[in-house]
Structure 1
């Protein structure tokens, strides 16, 4: 396979190659236009033992629907792009790999969380590995190491980060650009806005209708715009239903669908026995800050700017977690006493790294209020607390606490 001159290496490529070496079915799952097909082709290279099918192509889709068994009757690796378009293949893939347990028999890509679709049976437990592909991280775009999460768990309060040349306006530009390949390649805000409009039209006419029978598309579009204005806020179904004059059950169904197709992400609330007053409401964020920014064009205030910056940071953390060695889970924290933390990472050992995001170029001691509260309640489990802000340098705020530039997310290497 020959790669284009603008090919940007993806960190997920090593994950896919490793999975193909020991797993029967490898699934690359993610939003439309994140580069799943390009990644799969890169991982397969010029191998001659690969059969390739593209289910966006009418002839391939028709053949798969007509006779799934014959369609999959081939040696070597079978690559199927957009596999969710023919659910009938799922059980047949199970039958094939049950008879032939050779690793790397199937490489599949899909533009939805496949096993969340009602039309696809959960047929591959123990036989498959799913690798989520998100839009580009900043480290992938710039060639930076993208190692903050691992470094934070290894170094804790001893973590040291680089001085940054970026300022608030630069971070807002990066958040507004987002990480979709087609948006990154476009040079102006006007062209990125056109990409966002086309992208949303595409998922409404294709992904949404593949996943569910939506009768009122206008309500779905209004909900998407409303969610963009509230990105990084707590998800309140009743408030959304009242604002849009839509039944609560419909709002719940639509939010679930938007999560299935990777437009949004629900960040679960975190709680522990030591913090029993925590609220259980998830936080809703757009998977890509660039799409949220385009939907918010002309609606700019301190709330939307802060939400967009937090969405940007959570997006970078989400991407980094897919290859991080720390095996951490992402949550947010808020309790009934008014303490909150934007992002909380907990590893399998129970260690917590907490992050607060500020869309400002200065930091104050009170910005650490939620972080210090968690440290008091968790004791030794609290590993480190960071305020990520739009300034230029790292600032110490006592043991276990530090203010760091947002760029530390992608410029910090994993310690050797």
Structure 2
């Protein structure tokens, strides 16, 4: 893995460059410390007449609040970092780009889902493209293609991949995660980063979105959620376990999602069956944060009773979510579970109805029962089912009947179409 994450090329960089060529306003939205500022400054550096405005700077922040209209005046590209700090800027930006529809006028960054703010005015519909930036993917860290989704839809069950990685190598990746600062630190210092990161997120970013009286409840809820990563997201159950009233808990979940700490994976249904469960699944955006919250390093994670199963599933779900922001195939990520508890960890469906299924196993052996969910999915879908994959910590690709293969887990970032 790279020891210089700040120099790691991002897949999103080309997306930003392309968007600025035909779109008036581009918003790079994502978690704090994921590298948005670095990415946008690189884009601005390609345009000598651009200006960069950092709202983290107190004087700049005050100027934006005092005179929003004057603040956004500039004849070339303007980068505004952390736009959620002054959402009032969006209205004068809208006026500017309506009067002059030249592409590439504004490049914005945000550390919260600013479009979800209820107080926000008409938020540039048709004038703004949103590009999500996640913490580093494994392919970005390793300089690999990160094109499993495209390869899977292109080659189906003909995919073939061998690996040199072993189970412990994957466990190390789970506990590090993908935040640039975390990837460059030793374990003890990485824990200090995660502590500071979570405190900043709750004390600053969450409080920007809502008034929270009992912040301790949020930290308690975070630890509870980390222990349930990869499980169904049932607010009533979480409310009972945490002692937080259900209405308050639902609000907390929305806030934690808005600052890109957790992600809800919707349930998939073919539309032909009523046996599918409609409950979403909980995932942490970064497994490093989740492992830190439950106090498990690579050794404890792999011990009997460790959380390797759900964390490995979470890891794969979020690598797939990252890839879907840049893959050529326009797919949506789901999970699948029936009332009989037959399940598939990840389902990706394209707009034209083609589907791949992904099951995740933390061991190096695949058993017949591990294939139950994929076979159920294949039977339901017929020709729409492209292929099913069991991603596991073994080192070779193995066939398991028509359209189903066991594939080493690092195929996620090593394969390309």
* Of 5-14 and 265-274, the range deviating more from structure 2: 5-14
- Displacement of 1:61 after TM fit? 0.7
In the other structure, the counterpart of 2:314 is 311
- Displacement of 1:275 after TM fit? 2.7
Deviation track 1:338-394 (CA, whole Å, cap 9, x = no partner) reads 210000000111011000001101111211100001111111111100000111111
- Would the aligned equivalents of 2:44 and 2:51 in 1 still touch at CA under 8 Å? no
The answer to whether the aligner puts 1:396 opposite 2:395 as a matched pair is: no
Q: Distance in 2 between matches of 1:168 and 1:342?
A: 19
- Taking a change above 3 Å as real, the CA distance of residues 103 and 46 of structure 1, as seen in their structure-2 partners, is closer
Deviation track 1:297-345 (CA, whole Å, cap 9, x = no partner) reads 1585547221110111111101111100000000000010121000000
1:208 to 206, 209, 212: 206
Residue 38 of structure 1 aligns to a residue whose secondary structure is helix
In the other structure, the counterpart of 1:369 is 372
> How many equivalent pairs are there?
409
1:341 to 335, 339, 344: 344
Q: Structure 1: any 5+ residue segments left out of the alignment? A: none
- Would the aligned equivalents of 1:115 and 1:122 in 2 still touch at CA under 8 Å? no
2:335 to 332, 335, 349: 332
Deviation track 1:202-232 (CA, whole Å, cap 9, x = no partner) reads 1011111111111110001100110000001
Q: Distance in 2 between matches of 1:353 and 1:377?
A: 12
Q: Distance in 2 between matches of 1:205 and 1:245?
A: 21
Residue 29 of structure 2 aligns to a residue whose secondary structure is strand
Deviation track 1:93-142 (CA, whole Å, cap 9, x = no partner) reads 11111111010000000001110122322421100000000000111001
- Would the aligned equivalents of 2:5 and 2:180 in 1 still touch at CA under 8 Å? no
Matches within 5 A, 1:243-262: 243-262=241-260
In the other structure, the counterpart of 1:104 is 104
Q: Structure 2: any 5+ residue segments left out of the alignment? A: none
- Would the aligned equivalents of 1:230 and 1:304 in 2 still touch at CA under 8 Å? no
- Taking a change above 3 Å as real, the CA distance of residues 5 and 229 of structure 1, as seen in their structure-2 partners, is closer
- Displacement of 1:274 after TM fit? 2.4
Deviation track 1:232-261 (CA, whole Å, cap 9, x = no partner) reads 110111111111111000000000110011
Q: Distance in 1 between matches of 2:404 and 2:46?
A: 49
Flag as ranges the 4+ runs of structure 1 deviating above 6 A: none
* Of 283-292 and 113-122, the range deviating more from structure 2: 113-122
Q: Distance in 2 between matches of 1:334 and 1:189?
A: 36
In the other structure, the counterpart of 1:221 is 219
In the other structure, the counterpart of 1:378 is 381
In the other structure, the counterpart of 1:320 is 323
2:414 to 383, 401, 411: 411
TM-score, length-scaled by structure 1:
0.96
In the other structure, the counterpart of 1:12 is 12
Deviation track 1:10-52 (CA, whole Å, cap 9, x = no partner) reads 0000000000000000000000000000000111215221121
RMSD over equivalenced CA pairs, Å: 1.3
Residue 413 of structure 1 aligns to a residue whose secondary structure is coil
Residue 112 of structure 1 aligns to a residue whose secondary structure is coil
In the other structure, the counterpart of 1:135 is 135
Matches within 5 A, 1:228-239: 228-239=226-237
1:264 to 244, 262, 265: 262
Q: Distance in 2 between matches of 1:5 and 1:152?
A: 28
TM-score, length-scaled by structure 2:
0.96
In the other structure, the counterpart of 1:79 is 79
Residue 108 of structure 1 aligns to a residue whose secondary structure is strand
Residue 87 of structure 2 aligns to a residue whose secondary structure is coil
- Taking a change above 3 Å as real, the CA distance of residues 125 and 6 of structure 1, as seen in their structure-2 partners, is closer
